[in-house]
Amino acid sequence: MSTARPAPQAAPRAQTPHSTGHIVDDETTGIPSFEASGGDWSEIAEEAARLGEERIVVNMGPQHPSTHGVLRLMLEIDGETVTEARAGIGYLHTGIEKNMEFRTWTQGVTFCTRMDYVAPLFQEAAYCLAVEKLLGITDDVPERANVIRVLMMELNRITSHLVCIATGGNELGATTIMTVGFTAREELLRIFELISGLRMNHAYIRPGGVAQDVPAGAVEATREALTNVEHYLRQLEDLMLANPILHLRLKDVGYLGLSGCMALGITGPMLRSAGLPYDVRKTAPYCGYETYDFDVPTAQSGDSWGRVEVRLEEIYQSIKIARQALDRLERNPGPVMVEDKKIAWPAQLAIGSDGMGNSLAHIKEIMGTSMEALIHHFKLVTEGFRVPAGQVWQTVEHPRGELGVHLVSDGGTRPYRAHFRDPSFNNLQATSIVCEGGQVADVVVAVASIDPVLGGVDR
């Protein structure tokens, strides 16, 4: 239902033949309003103007395919022009941060990976880096584990950007952009499943390293997948970059300049499309990113088109980083978890032949030959390790911007407080700026260029 306040000299409150709405008095406030009952926007606007209406307020979402989850947009429109836009969040609240206070430090990974479900590995990495800071074991994490983390994060950055580009194209009616984008993403989801066992919500990065080493053949399979992704990327570029319709729909739409980004604390592709090459991987490196060769793409337009350009170029840079990581994996056969058995979980165990559970050799040891090993395994899994009291702040470069983690420990086996600075939450502050003054159809483009994921916003 759409409502609007009437002008002082409103037309008679009567339903006219073939109209798309009528004026009624609100039962609680007594304020007259215009109720729209179907029809095209142009017809609704024309009818409202004929009846002497000043404005129409429209709810877009929270059940809407173009709002990237359960985002509610409250739009005030004058004809086809958006005069005011507000974002309403909280429809997907999961209580993840609070739940993490009632689970062990390792179990916290299974919660935070479900926040931004399009880029789960970045929450895992940021959280585990923060736990390792509190434990004082940052330098003890094996090099191979850090290389695997970099590889998985960069592959995840590619899949996240592909979702943004593919869904954005579909919302504009370009179905082929969606099918090509998701086909490319599928190549890398198979790699995630090969390495971690899951396509999403991996819980693969753990405090001290990663859950298990990459299996045999994973390096070769990843190289092949990256080659295929490049092939699909060239198809996307052919479909998009020279498309005159896409130029008209994206250029000068959803503009947000550098000063606006700085004022609102906006990071990621939105900030880089306004010309500032800010990237946490360069400014505050982690996991050895300072040893990789890559560039930080920027644009100068500050509009939706610039954000598409930045994301496409970032995919190529992530492919470049991933190939460097694969080269290092072939040269470095080291462990993937810290040596301290009081922290390592699941204690560097090989999984069973069915890909699930512990290996038979480990089960035989703890059940048949070593009571101490059985007790330690039981306490480590059920109770968890203790983390020294203190607090820490850790950031990583998420596909949507700077992701921050604030952890507080009281010396126990679970977090006293866990809080995430999710980039989608901050970036959504720009909703009104990028939408107001444009047309209703441009709201879809502007929100798609922000690329919010409501799982991270409503954590």
Per-residue pLDDT tens for 192-216? 999 988 899 999 999 999 988 899 8
SS3 content of the chain, % helix, strand, coil (to 5): 45, 15, 40
Per-residue model confidence (pLDDT) at position 38: 58
Is the residue at 351 inside a domain?
no
Per-residue model confidence (pLDDT) at position 96: 92
Per-residue model confidence (pLDDT) at position 399: 95
48 & 70 share domain? yes
DSSP state of 352: P
Helix, coil or strand: residue 248 = helix
* Domain housing 76: 21-88
- Rounded CA separation 454/115 (Å): 8
Is the residue at 379 inside a domain?
no
Instruction: Give this prediction's pTM.
Output: 0.84
Is the residue at 369 inside a domain?
no
67 & 111 share domain? no
Query: 394: how many CB neighbours lie within 10 A of its CB?
Result: 22
283 & 407 share domain? yes
157 phi and psi angles, rounded to 5 deg: -65, -40
CA 359 to chain centre: 34
Per-residue model confidence (pLDDT) at position 355: 52
47 & 124 share domain? no
Residue closest to 350 by CA, chosen among 361, 338, 340, 335? 361
Per-residue model confidence (pLDDT) at position 49: 66
Write out residues in the chain with pLDDT < 70, as ranges: 1-42, 44-45, 47-55, 345-360, 362-363, 365-367, 370
Per-residue model confidence (pLDDT) at position 14: 39
184 & 326 share domain? yes
User: What CATH number does the domain containing 319 carry?
Assistant: 1.10.645.10
215 & 181 share domain? yes
